[in-house]
Structure 1
Amino acid sequence: MRRIERVVSYISGLSILLLVALPVSEILLRLFFSRGITASSDYITHLVLILTFLGGVAGAINGDHLSISAVAHFLKGRKAFAISLAATFISVAVSIAFAWTSLSMLFIAFGPEAMVGCIPTRLIILIMPLGYLFMAFGFIFRLIETERSPRLVPVFGLIAIVCGTLLALPAVANLLTFIPAAPLDFIDAAVQMYYNAAERVVPLLLILFIFAAFLGVPLFVVLGGGALLLFAQSFGSLEVVPIESYSMLTAQTIAAIPLFTVAGFVLSESGAGERLIALFRLLFRGLPGGMAAVAVIVCAFFTTFTGASGVTILALGGLLSVILRKNGFDERFVDGLLTSSGSIGLLFPPSLPIILYGVVAQISIRDMFLAGIIPGTIMVVMVSFMGFRASSKGVQVEESGHEPVLRIIGNALWEGLLPLVVLVPYLTGIATIVETGAVTLLYALIVEMCIHRDISLRRLPSVLIKSVPIIGGVLIILASSRGLAYYIVDAEVPMKLAAWMEAHISSRLLFLLLLNIGLLITGCLMDIFSAIMVVVPLILPLGELFGVHPVHLGIIFLANLELGYLTPPVGLNLFLASYRFGKPLPAMYRSVLPFFLVMLVAVLLITYIPALSLIFVGN
């Protein structure tokens, strides 16, 4: 498995470089020759498909897939092993089911004549069943490696593979029909028995899956597995789930997500953090609590580009923690500030959740970028205010350093120009969002490799490879949850919910209050990417029913989910900060509470004052 991981890593790195080269080449060819590369967009979207499943395999081997793991976090010894065994069993079974359904989809939905440029489509899509298969083996390998039970785990793995095959029985039956002289009558009878049993068993299994989410089962397994069960219960085609996954991953704008994510990783692996801290220290020197504002702004900057608050906490948490404590801030205050600042940049462009929300809700990403600027600034100012308030309790004022001012500005100038590199080409229409992502990544590589020389050519592969599990983890969630979103819409759940709300709730303010509460709970229990895929189709018709502007609804959604990262007991940032700062979760709850309340006030302002989101957005 480690050899497979190395191969996966190097192919992933090559895919990222191609993902940069194609859009940049497209821009240059358009500018100088008024034409682009034939089938360029198809190559780009299918590179994302390949990168997703390579990242998924790497994440399974290294245990990097996103999960809640609330129960598992508090257990030790045999109980922890039992939980890990159960989580692995479910993960392997569902991954095998995904492998069968995606293989069946490959033969049913794509003929031999289908091509992506000059490459057969089936050859590229083969990455889906192979990716899921190796993820299943990766989960088994991970448990053997961490729990040191080489005899017990493979037995459970084999049973899980059989159960996964049974879960995907209709897809397996469809594959058998491609075999000459297949016993079609027997296959039809077996499938009919499967669907009859599913009507009775699936409700119980769905409850098991919900509980499994808190045992550390990856979220893509919970969401995708839930979708498979729901389609089985409704006598639907299981191949719908991989078809929707394929459609999601090959959408025209999705390639922006890995591009901006890698750009953020390049920045976090360089000395950009130290340079930006020095610059903002210069700007805020002499201001009471100024160093707290520096920490908030730098965290917002990094989260904006990585799209993952965990990266910010893990990459910058240690450095900022030392600096803040040297400036006299209390340890508890520092833990709370950095934990809450980890997600505070999600409302600024080019935040990945903003891009994804625009894709799912089918509204202008440009409008979403503009709408997030003032609400995001309010969040930054209000959390920074906590630092100014702490300064009245004896925290020393940040003083000027000895380094020349011009040198500090010059060192941070190139990273400081990144927002312009993103916004100018995209908002002016010079480049698409994907091309903007490619230009941003290329710019970051040039700055960190050629100007500052923080990343050498020899070190570049390791930096790119480090981003792959995060990219795969996020995109595999999007892919798996798309099937669940499809089922929700197909079952007319949004329309039924809208009808119920219309019958029972007449006040727009009450609707917004209920929306805040519901989204806060959602943000506590789900990561922002899967929440966008599953919840947005539900709330869009409700927003339209109560006259909430769709762009304003998007900012409300993202602001609440941002706050959900801090919501006890299982907000994602609480676990990451507990790991990074070496503190127990109850201590993190106490540290974060004041910041949670301040951000809650900001969320309420954003919710009930639409002008804050819509001032730059046309009708």
Structure 2
Amino acid sequence: MEYLIIILCFLILLLLGLPVAFTLITVGAAILFIHMGGEVTSIQIPQVIYNALNSSLLVAIPSFILAGQIIIKSGIGSLAFKAADKWFGHLPGGLAIATIICCAFFSSLSGSSLATLLTFGYLASEEMIRMGYPKKFAYGLLAGTGTLGILIPPSTPMILYSAMTSQSASDLFIGATFPSLIIVVLFLTYVMFYARKLPRKEKAPMKERIQSLKEIVWIFLIPLVIVGGIYSGIFTVTESAGISCVVSIFLAVFVYRTVKWKELIDVLKAAATNTGMICLILGGAMLFGFSITLIELPQMIQTFFEDINLNKWAFLAVLSLLLIVLGMFMEVVSILMIVTPIMYPIMLSYGFDLVWFGIYLVILLEVAVITPPVGMNLFIMMQVSEKHKNKFDIIQMSKAALPYVVLMAVLVIILILFPGLVTWLPNIIET
């Protein structure tokens, strides 16, 4: 009975808007206090939080965040978009294709949906609207493709999932390869069909196209370090994060010369703020996970589903619905931190591959950032629309992003039917 009251208090605290980190710490501490007593709890809490953060893997998070912040500051994104426009602008839906490719490529640099959308949200939508693309299509495209930063490695949610479940971050990154390619192809197929009658640009001369590639050739160093280093086994995820950070500084300061040394201080402050927030939530999540494991809450939930004869596929459907509902009210990291400690043991008992579950979870977190009323990407694009003096409200923006929610649902179904799309490549590389 006491635990039921605490869980209800947990939900109430979330609804009242208490920061998720403090909610997790408060509820976790309360459960430990009831289960173990005050004296033991006062010792256990700092130990659990310290152990959660005492991981070399977590060093990758501030490094990738810093690399993303530097790239945003450098303005490299505009060069990449111009190059993509030169190569694809003459195709049906050429600007939309260029936008998807740029968002996918930039996601492989930053591992952040926010960084991706802040880089291309205004730039790409302005160009599409100028060319006569419908505003609804342009804004929806950016909101949808901005989610790629969550799925395409180096994904911050994947690193956090790895830290919480002891799954290999490298396996998660490698396992995301085919799902990332599939969702990009789905997005490209949709926009090429939708935009086939929209205005096109004239085909750029080959000389201009090659010159545009020369201007951005240095940028390819970053994904080469991240993807190539991890896939080949030369670098760990943490090492590749550090090296990508150094490469980003080198490009921004010495090659493109768009960032001065003194400007790096502001970039470091922004990265430190984001990292501190994530680490605080992670510490609270690990305390929460430790406490619910002690009272066997995951086992209780599993027993409940078994008692009502719910098989693993029906359970997966229920979980998918739950994640979509949570995505309406919470941001990505918070959902990940709350759901993973509870559902991870249950998925293990149902026999799901835990790398596959991590990718499945991340895809549904993509949906969360374009789900009203608190979808982050929707709000960013609402601000962009206001700058264009075409202000969209949350309902209009949600409708604009709806096709991409459907395409992500298609991807989830594909991965359920063919789980080997996630598990095959990590297994091959390991052997």
Please, what TM-score do these two structures have when normalized by structure 1? Answer: 0.63
The Cα of 1:599 is off from its aligned counterpart by 2.1
Q: Return the match for 1:377 from 181, 184, 187.
A: 181
1:210 aligns to 2:14 (yes or no):
yes
Structure 2 residue aligned with 1:290: 94
Residues 297, 342 of structure 2: 8 Å contact kept:
yes
1:573 aligns to 2:382 (yes or no):
no
Distance 1:275 1:228, change over 3 A: same
The Cα of 1:504 is off from its aligned counterpart by 2.8
Runs of 4+ in 1 over 4 A off after TM superposition: 198-205
The residue correspondences of 1:446-485 to structure 2 (distance < 5 A) are: 446-485=250-289
Partner Cα distance (1:220, 1:595) in 2? 30
Q: Return the match for 1:537 from 329, 341, 345.
A: 341
Partner Cα distance (2:110, 2:260) in 1? 21
The residue correspondences of 1:499-578 to structure 2 (distance < 5 A) are: 499-505=303-309, 507-578=311-382
Which structure is higher in RCO with an 8 Å CA cutoff and minimum separation 6? 2
Structure 1 residue aligned with 2:44: 240
Partner Cα distance (1:200, 1:603) in 2? 33
1:250 aligns to 2:54 (yes or no):
yes
Residues 154, 173 of structure 2: 8 Å contact kept:
yes
Alignment-mate amino acid for residue 316 of structure 1: F
3-state DSSP of counterpart to 1:254: helix
Partner Cα distance (2:250, 2:379) in 1? 34
| Greater C-alpha radius of gyration | 1
Residues 370, 376 of structure 2: 8 Å contact kept:
yes
1:321 aligns to 2:122 (yes or no):
no
The Cα of 1:204 is off from its aligned counterpart by 7.0
Choose 551-560 or 218-227, whichever is displaced more.
Answer: 218-227
1:594 aligns to 2:395 (yes or no):
no
1:400 aligns to 2:203 (yes or no):
yes
The Cα of 1:548 is off from its aligned counterpart by 1.7
Residues 381-437 of structure 1: CA deviation (Å, up to 9, x unaligned): 222233212223x31124334672232111111112321111222333333322211
Distance 1:202 1:503, change over 3 A: closer
Distance 1:399 1:438, change over 3 A: same
Structure 1 residue aligned with 2:389: none
Partner Cα distance (2:384, 2:52) in 1? 33
Aligned-residue CA RMSD in angstroms?
2.5
Alignment-mate amino acid for residue 370 of structure 1: I
Structure 1 residue aligned with 2:32: 231
1:433 aligns to 2:237 (yes or no):
yes
Residues 552-572 of structure 1: CA deviation (Å, up to 9, x unaligned): 111111111111222223323
Q: Return the match for 2:77 from 268, 273, 278.
A: 273
Partner Cα distance (1:319, 1:500) in 2? 50
Partner Cα distance (1:574, 1:445) in 2? 30
- Give the helix-richer structure, 1 or 2: 2
1:353 aligns to 2:162 (yes or no):
no
Distance 1:219 1:201, change over 3 A: closer
The residue correspondences of 1:111-126 to structure 2 (distance < 5 A) are: none
Percent of aligned positions that are identical: 26
Partner Cα distance (1:315, 1:218) in 2? 27
* Unpaired segments ≥5 residues, structure 1: 1-197
Residues 520, 564 of structure 1: 8 Å contact kept:
yes
Q: Return the match for 1:391 from 195, 203, 206.
A: 195
3-state DSSP of counterpart to 1:255: helix
Residues 110, 154 of structure 2: 8 Å contact kept:
no
The Cα of 1:580 is off from its aligned counterpart by 3.6
Partner Cα distance (1:552, 1:272) in 2? 33
Structure 2 residue aligned with 1:488: 292
Distance 1:207 1:432, change over 3 A: closer
The Cα of 1:307 is off from its aligned counterpart by 3.5
1:219 aligns to 2:2 (yes or no):
no
Residues 110, 149 of structure 2: 8 Å contact kept:
no
| Aligned residue pair count | 418
Residues 170, 237 of structure 2: 8 Å contact kept:
no
Partner Cα distance (1:311, 1:595) in 2? 19
Alignment-mate amino acid for residue 20 of structure 2: L
Distance 1:354 1:389, change over 3 A: same
Choose 553-562 or 572-581, whichever is displaced more.
Answer: 572-581
Partner Cα distance (2:210, 2:409) in 1? 39
Structure 2 residue aligned with 1:302: 106
Partner Cα distance (1:410, 1:354) in 2? 33
Distance 1:449 1:584, change over 3 A: same
The Cα of 1:330 is off from its aligned counterpart by 0.5
Residues 313, 580 of structure 1: 8 Å contact kept:
no
Please, what TM-score do these two structures have when normalized by structure 2? Answer: 0.89
3-state DSSP of counterpart to 1:570: coil
3-state DSSP of counterpart to 1:505: coil
Residues 176-209 of structure 1: CA deviation (Å, up to 9, x unaligned): xxxxxxxxxxxxxxxxxxxxxx999867754541
Partner Cα distance (1:330, 1:590) in 2? 13
The Cα of 1:245 is off from its aligned counterpart by 2.3
Distance 1:493 1:581, change over 3 A: same
3-state DSSP of counterpart to 1:345: helix
* Unpaired segments ≥5 residues, structure 2: 387-391
Residues 270, 454 of structure 1: 8 Å contact kept:
yes
Distance 1:607 1:521, change over 3 A: farther
Structure 2 residue aligned with 1:185: none
The residue correspondences of 1:3-82 to structure 2 (distance < 5 A) are: none
Residues 502, 545 of structure 1: 8 Å contact kept:
no
Distance 1:416 1:431, change over 3 A: closer
